[in-house]
Amino acid sequence: MHALVRRPSPRLAEGLLTHLERKHVDVDLAAAQWEAYVEAMRSAGWTTHEVDPADDCPDSVFVEDTMVVFGPLAVISRPGAPERRPETLAAEAAVGARGYRIAHIEAPGTLDGGDVLKHGNTVWVGEGGRTNAAGISQLRELLAPLGAEVVGVPTSKVLHLKSAVTALPDGTVIGHEPLVDDPEVWGARFLPVPEEPGSHVVVLDDRTVLMAASAPRSRRLIEERGYRVVAVDISEFEKLEGCVTCLSVRLRDA
């Protein structure tokens, strides 16, 4: 199991904000939290590969947004925020070096990896501030030959679809309901969680998920369903609208 990560920029504190007020970001603490996040992945059996840093891009640590990986294909994104577009270059080189076939989202399409939730062959894509309809239809065409069904999901209350919902290994979709445009998209598979960061999980294996330490009540709910939860403090990234999912790209299909 392999994953891409990217060391935070010294300019992290200048990261973009859409839904939050700017708060002081402690860049040294962020660096320590990032190391602990990477260590948590390694302890769970993942080999991490660093994408070359992009020190001029404050949001580059949120490496998930640079691509969508499905089977043997890496679709390099065209981030909705123009400031973030230079981030994709080194990310493409890193995933290419791991043997992935490369495709690109092209103008006028925009798409951020944080808007893409995969489970099995279903790929839900948030259409909102960062990802547009053209980006979604390009992704649909690129993934259709691989057997993926791409489903567009309106996303107006949060930055990215995965700021509102993610999936447990069994396909249960967890979300903090006030931030989900339409939970009916997932019908009976939808499980509400009591805290916003409680809706963010990184699946480490069939029984284990990584979560933010800021969601203890949601953590208990997930543990009651039989999962082991590894919790990490990512407070400095949360101040920049980042969550556990955005800090890595898992390549286990490679």
Residues classed as catalytic: 160, 246
34 binds ligand CIR (CB under 6 A): no
158 exposure class (CB count in 10 Å sphere: 0-12, 13-18, 19+) = buried
Interface with ligand CIR: number of residues (CB under 6 A): 19
Q: If DSSP codes are grouped into helix, strand and coil, which group holds residue 91?
A: helix
**Annotated binding-site positions for substrate:** 17, 59, 64-65, 84, 130, 240
Closest CB 209 distance from ligand CIR, rounded Å:
17
Q: Which is nearer to ligand CIR, 181 or 188 (CB)?
A: 181
Q: Which is nearer to ligand CIR, 45 or 154 (CB)?
A: 154
Residue selected from 78, 241, 248, 249 as contacting ligand CIR according to rule CB under 6 A: 241
Q: Which residues contact 133 (CB under 8 A, 6 or more apart)?
A: 127, 152
The token pair at 178 is 């006030």
Residue selected from 59, 92, 127, 238 as contacting ligand CIR according to rule CB under 6 A: 59
Closest CB 123 distance from ligand CIR, rounded Å:
15
CB 189 within 8 Å of CB 124: no
Q: Sheet of 2-5: strands edge to edge? A: 47-50, 2-5, 249-250
Q: How many residues does the chain have?
A: 254
Closest CB 224 distance from ligand CIR, rounded Å:
26
Residue selected from 2, 11, 14, 16 as contacting ligand CIR according to rule CB under 6 A: 16
Closest CB 18 distance from ligand CIR, rounded Å:
6
Task: Count CB atoms within 10 A of the CB of residue 185.
Answer: 17
Stretch in the footprint of ligand CIR (CB under 6 A) among 41-49, 157-165, 185-193, 222-230: 157-165
Q: Which residues contact 243 (CB under 8 A, 6 or more apart)?
A: 162, 163, 197, 200, 212, 234, 237
**Annotated binding-site positions:** 17, 59, 64-65, 84, 130, 240
Three-class secondary structure assignment of 14-41? HCCCCCCCCCCCCHHHHHHHHHHHHHHH
| Interaction site with ligand CIR (CB under 6 A) | 15-16, 18, 59, 62, 64-65, 81, 84, 114, 159-160, 162-163, 240-243, 246
